[in-house]
């Protein structure tokens, strides 16, 4: 393995999913729904395959999907964008993030990350030889520590990468926090890379799109995907919306990373983005019930629960159970209790910062969540 990547292990999601299978644990680890995406979306992809839409798609996306993304971006942020020059379709949001970093960051540029962070961010920043600065979000509310953030910014800062709603904490960045980040980006002439894949999964408060804040669109890349909102994580359809000068950089990276994204699934995505508002209302209603089942269950067995404002994850403090750290506790959970969860210490530069926490995913059918809660009650 290259020097850039030798510090990284097999991703924690893969490790935990393998262990969960081996021990027949209920898998509340890796965040993928155990129910299927909607028929109207799947049917559109099936028709595309049968209708011969099977050769390379246009590199930056089929025009119909670029258009649909521009429309939904307008609805979410109020900003009108040109679908031909400001929208790029990628193979999942993970590729959008990689293309953004590789296309816009020079070796040695500083990039600020909030920790805990989604694991691909650090690995991709390493591939780009970026210098990473972290600002830690701490329980109980994972609020942005203003002074630490101000100190992290300097004239070397090229970008800040923000995920809101936030995996793994379930935090939704407040308007005030985003305005603080925006003011620092403007002051230091830095870019904002926004991973907003959970923007439709908000239980309390509101999702604020960074691009919609005053003076920010011109320095922001907004990324999203189909996977979370439409329960189709295996399709790997994502996108990035950014002004033309930033789009150019990320498209150059995208062109040489994957060139283009699966054509039939892009047709599925066109159908998905035409969903009526009621689709999103049902989605959030369903997830609210799932969240409540798991959160109540976790509280009842004695965890300290940091109730999520968004996403389909919940973080808890496991210290009441007397284990040394998150890895030891998750091992016990999988092997002896029969429930898999993610030890989040790998989402921190210094693993000690995450050792008291555990992340559970609730993107599972209600029966699975109830079974998990029963096992926790019986075996923990
Ligand atoms: N995004 C999902 C999670 O956080 C899964 C990601 C993955 O398996 N790489 O659990």
Q: Residue 374 and residue 372: Cα distance in Å, rounded?
A: 5
Ligand 1 atom 5: residue of nearest CA: 31
Ligand 1 atom 9: residue of nearest CA: 13
Give the distance (Å) from ligand 1 centre to CA of residue 30: 5
Total Cβ atoms within 10 A of residue 188: 16
Q: Residue 109 and residue 129: Cα distance in Å, rounded?
A: 8
| 33 in contact with ligand 1, CB cutoff 6 A | no
Structure tokens at 206: 């509101």
Assembly ipTM: 0.94
Tens of pLDDT along the chain (380 residues)?
Answer: 999 999 998 999 999 999 999 999 999 999 999 999 999 999 999 999 999 999 999 999 999 999 999 999 999 999 999 999 999 999 999 999 999 999 999 999 999 999 999 999 999 999 999 999 999 999 999 999 999 999 999 999 999 999 999 999 999 999 999 999 999 999 999 999 999 999 999 999 999 999 999 999 999 999 999 999 999 999 999 999 999 999 999 999 999 999 999 999 999 999 999 999 999 999 999 999 999 999 999 999 999 999 999 999 999 999 999 999 999 999 999 999 999 999 999 999 999 999 999 999 999 999 999 999 999 999 99
| 27 in contact with ligand 1, CB cutoff 6 A | no
Give all strands of the β-sheet with 304-306 in edge-to-edge order. Answer: 304-306, 313-317, 357-361
Nearest-atom number in ligand 1 for the CA of 17 is: 8
Fold type of domain 39-272: 3.40.640
Say if CB 177 and CB 132 are below 8 A apart.
no
Please indicate, yes or no, whether the overall pTM of this predicted structure exceeds 0.90.
yes
Nearest-atom number in ligand 1 for the CA of 120 is: 9
Say if CB 376 and CB 301 are below 8 A apart.
yes
| Residues in Cβ contact with 8 at an 8 Å cutoff, skipping those fewer than 6 apart | 122, 123, 126
Domain locations in the chain as residue ranges: 12-30+278-379, 39-272
Is the N-terminal amide bond of 5 cis, ω within 30° of 0? no
Give the distance (Å) from ligand 1 centre to CA of residue 29: 9
Q: Residue 244 and residue 250: Cα distance in Å, rounded?
A: 10
Ligand 1 atom 7: residue of nearest CA: 13
Give the distance (Å) from ligand 1 centre to CA of residue 98: 15
| 167 in contact with ligand 1, CB cutoff 6 A | yes
| Nearest Cα to Cα of residue 186 among 212, 218, 164 | 218
Fold type of domain 12-30+278-379: 3.90.1150
| 11 in contact with ligand 1, CB cutoff 6 A | yes
Fold matches, 12-30+278-379 and 39-272: no
């Amino acid at each position: 393995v290259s020097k850039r990547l030798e510090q990284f292990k097999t991703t924690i999601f893969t490790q935990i999913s393998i262990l969960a299978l081996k021990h027949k644990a209920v898998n509340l680890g890796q965040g993928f729904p155990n129910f299927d995406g909607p028929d109207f979306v799947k049917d559109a992809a099936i028709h595309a395959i049968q209708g011969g839409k099977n050769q390379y798609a246009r590199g930056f996306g089929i025009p119909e999907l670029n258009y649909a993304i521009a429309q939904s971006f307008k609805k979410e942020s109020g900003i009108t964008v040109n679908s031909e020059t400001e929208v790029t379709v990628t193979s999942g949001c993970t590729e959008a993030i990689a293309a953004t970093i590789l296309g816009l960051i020079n070796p040695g540029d500083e990039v600020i990350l909030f920790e805990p962070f989604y694991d691909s961010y650090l690995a991709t920043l390493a591939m780009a030889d970026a210098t990473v600065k972290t600002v830690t979000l701490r329980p109980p509310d994972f609020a942005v520590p203003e002074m630490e953030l101000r100190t992290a910014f300097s004239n070397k800062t090229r970008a800040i990468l923000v995920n809101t709603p936030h995996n793994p904490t379930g935090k939704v960045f407040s308007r005030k926090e985003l305005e603080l980040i925006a003011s620092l980006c403007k002051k230091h002439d830095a870019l904002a890379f926004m991973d907003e894949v959970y923007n439709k999964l908000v239980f309390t408060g509101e999702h604020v799109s960074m691009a919609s804040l005053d003076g920010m669109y011109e320095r922001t890349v907004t990324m999203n995907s189909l996977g979370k909102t439409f329960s189709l994580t295996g399709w790997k359809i994502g996108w990035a919306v950014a002004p033309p000068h930033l789009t150019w950089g990320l498209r150059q990276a995208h062109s040489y990373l994957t060139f283009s994204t699966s054509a039939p699934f892009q047709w599925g995505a066109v159908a998905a983005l035409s969903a009526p508002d009621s689709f999103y209302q049902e989605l959030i209603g369903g997830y609210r019930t799932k969240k409540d089942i798991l959160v109540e269950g976790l509280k009842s067995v004695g965890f300290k629960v940091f109730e999520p404002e968004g996403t389909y994850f919940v973080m808890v403090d496991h210290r009441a159970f007397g284990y040394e750290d998150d890895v030891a506790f998750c091992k016990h959970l999988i092997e002896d209790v029969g429930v898999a969860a993610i030890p989040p210490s790998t989402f921190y530069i210094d693993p000690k910062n995450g050792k008291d926490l555990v992340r559970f995913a609730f993107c599972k059918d209600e029966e699975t969540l109830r079974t998990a809660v029963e096992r926790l009650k019986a075996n923990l």
